[in-house]
């Protein structure tokens, strides 16, 4: 009897010493965080380069100063040195010194071309260099008595009309100012020939 009690007590002791079964807690899911939108950097492309053929403030001021109380016309410069692809904008000013309102016209024509030795550049003619003057607007300008007009004269050295490169040398152009007077067209000489020389390097 005593032995049975001892065995029973040992059995109870062993049961009490066994570890409690592990309990698994439910897995908690993390709340989803919305992903930040991907911001793409927007770059503004640079503005395309635009060639400026207008009359500079400096040139305009020079012409205004040159048009004195008795001057009929004034040209800012008579010479420019340019490479192929470059241009220069001269300024010409006109004052109506006639006794009545009249119409005026500025005209530029190719004269001749020669190299550094003074030899004529045979391949250069008015047709070959016509595009050099294409930026100009040779339109008639009405002017009251003693009123003035300042106009840009653009010479842009480009390839010849046949596609060839202009040889280095000096290319001369004749600038003339005409008025109408009592004639049907604006063809009366007001300034006489004014030579513009462009040295192509």
Model-wide pTM > 0.85: no
Token pair belonging to 197: 């020389």
Q: What is the 3-state secondary structure (H, E, C) of 127-163?
A: CCCHHHHCCCCCCCEEECCCCEEEEEEEEECCCCCCC
The pLDDT tens digits of the residues spanning 29-79 come to 565 656 666 666 767 777 677 789 999 999 999 999 999 888 999 999 999
Token pair belonging to 189: 């000489």
> How many whole angstroms from its chain centre is CA 174?
28
Which residue has 């190719």 as its token pair? Answer: 110
The pLDDT tens digits of the residues spanning 123-169 come to 999 999 999 999 999 999 999 999 999 999 999 999 999 999 999 99
Fold of 57-200: Immunoglobulin-like (2.60.40)
């Amino acid at each position: 009897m005593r032995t049975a009690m001892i065995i029973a007590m040992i059995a109870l002791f062993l049961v009490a010493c066994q570890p409690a079964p592990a309990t698994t807690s439910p897995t908690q899911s993390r709340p989803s965080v919305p992903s930040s939108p991907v911001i793409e950097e927007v770059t503004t492309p640079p503005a395309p380069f635009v060639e400026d053929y207008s009359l500079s403030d400096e040139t305009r001021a020079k012409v205004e100063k040159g048009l004195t109380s008795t001057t009929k016309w004034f040209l800012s410069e008579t010479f420019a040195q340019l490479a192929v692809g470059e241009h220069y904008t001269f300024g010409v000013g006109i004052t109506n010194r006639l006794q009545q309102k009249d119409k005026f016209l500025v005209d530029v024509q190719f004269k001749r071309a020669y190299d550094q030795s003074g030899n004529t550049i045979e391949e250069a003619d008015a047709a070959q260099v016509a595009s050099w003057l294409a930026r100009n607007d040779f339109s008639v300008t009405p002017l009251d008595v003693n009123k003035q007009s300042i106009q840009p004269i653009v010479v842009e050295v480009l390839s010849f009309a046949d596609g060839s490169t202009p040889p280095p040398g000096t290319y001369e152009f004749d600038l003339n100012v005409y008025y109408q007077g009592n004639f049907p067209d604006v063809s009366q000489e007001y300034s006489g020939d004014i030579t513009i020389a462009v040295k192509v390097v």
